[in-house]
Structure 1
C-alpha cells in the first residue's frame, strides 16, 4: 500500500467577513431606497404611503452602517484616501468611491426631508436617489463579476442575484424594525400585505433568474455553471451548502404562502424577516468566503478558520451591534422628536 500525503499551504483570504456585511447592508440600502422613492409618489393614505416610515427607518440604518463595514474591510484608512488621490476610472472600486458617498448623502437627505415633513424636497431627491441606488447595484455587482480567476463570480447573473437577494433582505429587515417604530407610525395590515406581495414578486424573480442561469449555462456550457458543477461533485461541504440553500429557498416560499392569513401576527413577521435577511446574508457568506476556500488551480481546499478578532467574529458581532444601536437611537429620537406629518404638496 502506498500512502500519499498532501500538504495544503495556508493562504490569506482576499475578502474578509467585513465584505459580507458590506454587500449585505448595501443590498438592504438599495432595496429600501427604491421602495422609499415609490412611497414618495404614492397617493396620501394609500397602502404604499403607509410603508414610508418603516422604509425610511430601514434606509437610514443601512445607509449609515454599510460604509462603516466597507471602511473596515479596507484594512487601512489611507486606502480610502487613495481612491481620490489616485483615481483610476477603469477600477470599479475607484468608481464606487464616488458613487457610495453620493448614495449615502441622497439617502440621508430623503430621510431628513421625511422627518421634517417636506414632501416637496422628497420629490426632488427621490428620482436622484433611484439613479444613485441603481448605480450602487451595478457597481457592487460588477466589482465582483469582473474577477475572471473565479468563474463562479464571472457571470452577468451575479449582479442580478445580489440585487434580488439584497432587496429581499431589505424587506426582511423592514418586517423586523417595524416592531421598533412608535405605534402611530406602524403600517396597517393592508400595507403589510402589500409588502408581502412585493416579497413574493421578488422571490419569484429570484427563482426565475436562478433557473435562467442554470438553463443557459447548460446550453452554452457557461464557465460559471461548470464551476458550480465542479463544486457539487468535488467538494462535499459545498454540496451540503447547496442543498441547504435550496431548502432555505423552499422554506421562504412556504412561509410567504402561509402568510396570507398570518401577516397580522407580529411574531410571524419577525420570523419571516429573520428568514429573509438570514438567507441573503448566508448567500453572501458562501459567495465571498466559502468560494475562497476552493483553489483557483489544482485540487484540495484552502484552509480557513475565522479569527475571533475584528477581522472575523468580533467584526460580525460589531456590525450587528452597530445596526441595533442605530435602530435604538432612531427609535429614541422618534419618541422625543416625532416626525412631522407629510402631506401632499
Structure 2
C-alpha cells in the first residue's frame, strides 16, 4: 500500500512504438540531406554512396509510418487527423507532413533509379524541405509539453536531428555491405566528414544546453540536475551517455580507411545506431517514469506483447524485410537499368 502511494503505476502515454517511429523517421530525414548533397555535387565516384543512401531512405521512410500507426493504438484513429484537422496541433500537422515526406522519398528514389538526374536534383531539394518539416514537427510535438520539464527545451528537437544524423551514417555503413562493391566502393573520407560534422554539432548542442541552464536556469536543465542528484539510475544513464559520446567521437576521429574494414565498420554502425535509439528510449520511456507530482519514480515494466517487446521485434523484422527487398532490387536492377534497356530496344528497332 505504501509503495502504491509513493510510486503508483501509471499507464505510459508513449509506447515503445514511438521510440521506433522517432528513430526511423529521424534516419530517413537525415539521409535526405546526404542525398541532396550527392545530387548537387553530381560526382560519378559517389554512385555507390548514392545507392546506399537510397536504400537507407527507402527502408526507413517506409517503415516509420507503420510504427506511428501502431503507436496510435487504433490505426483508424489516424483518419481523425484529417476529418478533424487542427492546424495548431503538431500531431495534426504531422498527419499531412509525414505522407508527403514518404511520397517524396519514393519519387526521389525513382527519379534517381531512372537516371533522371535533373529531376532528381529538384526532387532532392524538395525532399530536404520536407525533411526539415519532419524534424521540426517531431521535435516540437514533444518539446511543447510543459508538463514534462525535461522535454520542454528547444535543444530537444536539435538533439533529435543531430543524433538522427549520426544514426543515418550508421545505417549507411550497415546497408552498404549488402550492395554491389560493398564498403570498398564508398568514399569513406566523405562519410567520416559527415559523421564528424554531426558529432561535433551534437557536442556543441550539449554544451550550449548546459551553459544556458547554468545562466538562465531553464526548467529542463534544472530537472536534469535534480534527477542526477536524486536517483542512481539517472546518474548511471548520464555517465553512460558521456562514455558513449566519447566512444563515438573516437571512432569518428579514427582514419577513414578503418571504415573499409568490415568488422570495424559493423561495430561503428552498431554504436551509432544504438546511441541514437537509446537516446530516444531515455527521452520517451525513462522520462515518463519521472513523476509530474509526488516522490519516487513511476513503475514501468515493458510488456512482452504487441505494445512492447514483440512490437519492437516486429518493427525490426519489417526493417530487415525492407532492407532485403530494396538491396535486392538495387543489386539485380541497378540505377539506369530500365533506361538502358529502353535505349537498347530503340536501337534494335532502328
Does TM, normalized by the shorter one, top 0.5?
Answer: yes
In the TM superposition, residue 257 of structure 1 has moved relative to its aligned partner by 2.0
Residue pair 2:17, 2:311 contacting (<8 A) in 1 also: yes
Which residue of 1 is the match for residue 343 of structure 2?
none
Give deviations 1:71-109, integer Å, cap 9, x for gaps: 100110221000000001110000000000000000110
Secondary structure, counterpart of 2:258 in structure 1: coil
2:184 and 2:260 in contact (8 A); partners too: no
Written as runs of structure 1 = structure 2, the 5 A alignment for 1:111-260 is 111-183=109-181, 188=185, 191-260=187-256
Check conservation: 2:170, 2:270, Cα contact below 8 A: yes
Q: For the aligned residues, what is the CA RMSD?
A: 1.7
- Give the deviation of 1:281 after TM superposition: 0.1
How much does 1:186 deviate?
5.7
Three-state SS of the structure 2 residue aligned to 1:149 is: coil
CA contact (8 A) 2:29 2:134 kept: yes
What is the rounded CA distance, in whole Å, between the counterparts of 1:175 and 1:261 in structure 2? Answer: 13
Check whether the contact 1:37–1:127 (CA below 8 A) recurs between aligned residues: yes
Question: In the TM superposition, what is the alpha-carbon distance from 1:50 to its structure 2 partner?
Answer: 4.3
Match of 1:18? 17
List per-residue Cα deviations over 1:129-170 (Å, max 9, x = no partner): 111000001000000000000011000111100000011101
Question: What residue is the counterpart of 2:283 in the other structure?
Answer: 287
TM-score normalised by length of structure 1:
0.94
| Alpha-carbon distance in 1 for matches of 2:15, 2:156 | 19
- Could you tell me how far apart the structure 2 residues matched to 1:263 and 1:25 are? 23
Alpha-carbon distance, 1:38 to partner: 1.2
1:36 matched to 2:32: no
CA distance in 1, matches of 2:189, 2:36: 19
Which whole-Å CA distance do the structure 1 matches of 2:305 and 2:288 have between them?
20
- Which whole-Å CA distance do the structure 2 matches of 1:235 and 1:179 have between them? 42
How many residue pairs are counted as aligned between the two chains?
A: 337
SS of aligned partner of 1:41:
helix
Q: Alignment partner of 2:177: what SS?
A: helix
Shift of 1:116: 1.6
1:46 is displaced (CA, Å) by: 4.3
**TM-fit CA distance, 1:125:** 0.8
Contact map agreement 2:183 2:260 (CA 8 A) in 1: no
Q: Partners of 1:196 and 1:44 in 2: how far apart?
A: 17
Does the 8 Å contact 1:53/1:186 carry over to 2?
Answer: no
Q: Using structure 2 for the length normalisation, give the TM-score.
A: 0.93
**1:317 to 2:313 alignment:** yes
Secondary structure (helix, strand or coil) at the match of 2:19 reads helix
Q: Structure 1 residues 171, 315: closer, same or farther in 2, change over 3 A?
A: same
More helix by share: 2
| Aligned pairs (5 A) from 1:36-115 | 36-47=35-46, 49-115=47-113
Distance 1:137 1:97 in 2: 14
Deviations 1:237-292 (A, max 9, x none): 11111111111111111122224441221211111111000000000000000001
Q: Distance in 1 between matches of 2:319 and 2:255?
A: 27
SS in 2 for 1:329: helix
Cα offset, 1:298, TM superposition: 1.2
CA contact (8 A) 1:182 1:331 kept: no
Q: Which runs of 5+ in 1 are unaligned?
A: none
Between the aligned partners of 2:43 and 2:269, the Cα distance in structure 1 is 26
Distance 1:223 1:317 in 2: 35
For residues 292-314 of structure 1, give each alpha carbon's deviation from its aligned partner in whole angstroms, at most 9, with x where no partner exists.
11100111111100000110001
Task: Provide structure 2 residue ranges, at least 5 long, that are not aligned to the other structure.
Answer: 341-350
Contact in 2 for aligned 1:193/1:263 (Cα 8 Å): no
Q: Deviations over 1:180-222 (max 9, x none)?
A: 1122x76635x11210111011100000000000011100011
